[in-house]
Homo-oligomer: A and B are copies of this chain.
Amino acid sequence: MFEAIELGQSLSKKEFKQAELQFRAELLQLQQQLVEKSIPVLILVAGVEGAGKGDVVDNLNKWFDSRGMMTHAFWDETDEQKERPEYWRYWMSLPSRGSISIMFGGWYWDPIYQHSMDRLDDAGLDEAAQRIKDLEDTLNQDGVLIIKLWFHLAKKTFRSRLKKDSEAAKHIKTDADDHHGGLEYAPFLAAAERMIRRTDTSAATWHLIESEDRWFRDMSVVEVIRHSFKQRLEEHRVADRRVADTNLMPETSPATVLDTLDMSLALTKSDYKEQLQHYQAKLSQLVWQAYDAKHSTVIVFEGWDAAGKGGAIRRLTDTIDARLYRSISVAAPTDEELAHHYLWRFWRQVPRAGYMTLYDRSWYGRVLVERVEDFAQPHEWMRAYQEINDFEEQLVDSGIVLLKFWLHISPEEQLRRFEERQQIPWKQHKLTDDDWRNRDKWDGYAQAVNEMVLRTSTGKAPWSLIPANDKLHARVEVLKTVCQRLEEVLKDN
């Protein structure tokens, strides 16, 4: 692959400077148009050491208006990063709409490096490539323009440059040896080739750039970027609105998974007290053990209005040391959040290792309220299933214990609770016109819930459907489920 760009191409400084007079104004104009169209741009800068990636980034910072432009390197990990899923740092560095992020290496560096050091085999690299493709697809569909640049040097040049690159190399070896030390040319390129072949997609094309000559290299960068910007601005970009028309279940089927629940389950008050105490005592221990074992826990609560989410959450947090948990009621997104992929705000909240986060409503809003109320279009919520599964898989793979509860009540029980809320002064604020409106769309919601469970109840992140007509039963059931899961996970340690 790479031999095709070992051509010894070059450009004179004079030619480059001449061209620069033209292209600088053009690049700025294009940037301005991208800002106006709120298009986020991600430029990934990768390649062999010594090819001048740093110089290229400096140039980009010079040519473009630096407002709304940010450069990210991922070499000197903090424990805030180490204690979260691998991709957390990348999500936190994504461009918002109308801005440009430049990433050194980005999600490519680590798998390529590990493979070239024989710490990752071919299958591992391919798996990493698949995950990258999924992410790039997601970003592309969300409107991000992804430009991937690979800077290449022939072996001879690489050798001679490496010697010169003394100062940085010295520090990098001392400070991040595990990440950059002992790189050999041939295995590195072999890993890179395999990775590039697997991730060169129409959603995010690779551009290989010969970097022997700096003027030729810089001119190539300009051309790639100019072309990519123009293409994106000129195309009448229509998001992929295709919707799989093969439902997992016939739409006409009136029954949903919710109909299978035994809604008669209930507890007497004395049974409740006893079991509540039992599981709460257990939980308060388990949470400290999870902290010690550095296992985070993420618990999602979804359910009908008035299904008792808040009460169930409180029966958990009552007993947990307040230093160890964070409880999040999902409200309207801020403008920083709106300027990113809808999952960004949830990535932002991923807990550090050892902590617990409880969600009163969650990222499932996309396939529930946003679907039923038409806030999201079908192609948007349809692809959300896949995106959510990917997100949750990464949480679980990083050691996070993920639990998802759907609290289910009957329409009759909901009505009873609404009417009760109207009577109790400190509950009146909980009942809004929206609640009554949502109630009218019960069937639509039921179908959405059914499909959500079908598509996102995975082996790694199953849904727990809790019959909640009896609050006491529901609360104990939730507590018990959390305790059981934590015990299982901690036993394996």
Contact = CB atoms under 8 A, between A and B. Distances in A.
Contacts of A253: none
Given A25-B425, A79-B80, A336-B334, A57 B322 contact: yes
A437 interface: no
A422 B67 CA distance: 20
Contacts of A223: none
A303 to B, nearest CB: 16
B73 A322 contact: yes
A62 interface: yes
A79 B79 contact: yes
A64 B61 CA distance: 47
A252 interface: no
A185 interface: no
Contacts of A91: none
A243 to B, nearest CB: 33
5 interchain residue pairs of minimum CB distance:
A25-B425, A24-B426, A73-B323, A25-B426, A67-B329
A201 interface: no
A337 to B, nearest CB: 9
A360 interface: yes
A420 interface: no
Contact of A61 (B32, B80, B327, B335): B327
Contact of A79 (B57, B78, B168, B310): B78
Most chain B beta-carbon neighbours within 10 Å: one of A29, A326, A426: A426
A65 interface: yes
A1 interface: no
B28 A426 contact: yes
A237 interface: no
A10 interface: no
B288 A171 contact: yes
A14 interface: no
Given A24-B425, A65-B429, A67-B331, A54 B321 contact: yes
A102 to B, nearest CB: 9
Contact of A58 (B317, B360, B429): B317
A291 B322 CA distance: 36
Interface in A167-206: 167-168, 171, 175
Interface residues of A, number: 58
A68 interface: yes
Given A25-B426, A67-B331, 8 more contacts: A54-B321, A58-B314, A58-B318, A65-B329, A69-B329, A104-B322, A168-B321, A335-B336
A230 to B, nearest CB: 17
A37 B28 CA distance: 42
Contacts of A292: 171
B79 A291 contact: no
Nearest to A335: B335
A425 B22 CA distance: 8
B322 A28 contact: no
Given A67-B331, A331-B68, A426-B24, A322 B58 contact: yes
A360 B66 contact: yes
Contacts of A322: 53-54, 57-58, 71, 73, 104
Nearest to A325: B71
Contacts of A334: 334-336
Given A317-B61, A334-B336, A336-B334, A323 B76 contact: yes
A285 interface: yes
Nearest to A338: B335
Contact of A71 (B62, B78, B326): B326
Contacts of A130: none
A438 interface: no
Nearest to A430: B65
Given A327-B66, A329-B67, A360-B66, A167 B288 contact: yes
Contacts of A167: 284-285, 288
Contacts of A295: none
Contacts of A341: none
A473 interface: no
A425 to B, nearest CB: 3
Contact of A323 (B58, B69, B75, B310): B75
A293 to B, nearest CB: 12
Given A32-B429, A426-B28, A429-B65, A78 B352 contact: yes
